[in-house]
Amino acid sequence: MYYPEPISRLMESYMKLPGIGEKTASRLAFYTVNMREEDVTDFAKNLVSVKRDLKYCSICGNITESDPCSICSDKNRDQSVILVVEQAKDVIALEKMQEYSGLYHVLHGVLSPVEGTGPEDINMASLLKRLQNDEVKEVIIATNANVEGEATATYLSRLIKPAEIKVSRLAHGLSVGSDIEYADEVTLLKAVEGRTEM
């Protein structure tokens, strides 16, 4: 199908986003054509701002406007605990809970031999450097419960334990409101392994 060149270029830009195929890109492009010009201008400014105004925190690797980030700069947070996550969006999800008061470390990925991602390709060296601080007593590994996340957690645990720092893992298993009959074997295994006393 023939699209005018500006629509085709806009569709190509939308298709660079995850989960956006040709049909969705076409729908978004035509929606954009019908938007008010000032809304399109604001949208474009916001896209540019995200690239220009954000950086990674030099301590934890989280996205931030200032370096160090507000979490690393907060002296009221528990400096003895570091929670390790895969992506910056995981920090936001955990902060919404408003229960965790320690520090974070963002890996920006996980180990994946299939993808060719090794320890040097993720933000692991700076975590090990942070652990040289005697103040750190526990590292909580909060990678996803998939093959790559588990491999990353195991690898990190083996690197950290010789430093005599407690290493823990977020609990996995059945989510609240789920039915046992619909859970897969790995989820059920994690639920049984992570059981707690009542």
Q: Residues 46, 81: one domain?
A: no
Name the pLDDT band for 34 (thresholds 50, 70, 90).
very high
What pTM did the predictor assign? 0.82
Residue 177, pLDDT score:
72
Task: Assess if residue 67 is contained within a domain.
Answer: no
Name the pLDDT band for 196 (thresholds 50, 70, 90).
low
Q: Residues 27, 86: one domain?
A: no
Name the pLDDT band for 182 (thresholds 50, 70, 90).
confident
Number of other CB atoms surrounding residue 131 within 10 Å? 17
Task: Assess if residue 194 is contained within a domain.
Answer: no
User: Among positive and negative, which fits the CA dihedral 83, 132, 168, 148?
Assistant: positive
Please give the share of the chain, as a percent, with pLDDT higher than 70. 96
Q: Residues 47, 93: one domain?
A: no
Evaluate the omega torsion of the peptide bond into residue 4 and state whether it is cis, within 30 degrees of 0: no
Q: Residues 96, 162: one domain?
A: yes
Q: Residues 82, 10: one domain?
A: no
Name the pLDDT band for 174 (thresholds 50, 70, 90).
low
Q: How many domains does the chain have?
A: 2
Residue 190, pLDDT score:
75
Number of other CB atoms surrounding residue 140 within 10 Å? 19
Q: Residues 132, 85: one domain?
A: yes
Tell me which H or E stretch contains 148: helix 147-160
State yes or no: pLDDT of 80 exceeds 80: yes
State the residue range of the domain holding 149: 77-169
> Span 170-189, mean pLDDT?
74
Residue 150: strand, helix, or coil? helix
Q: Residues 12, 94: one domain?
A: no
Task: Assess if residue 132 is contained within a domain.
Answer: yes
Q: Residues 91, 46: one domain?
A: no
Amino acid in position 103? L
- CATH code for position 18: 1.10.8.420
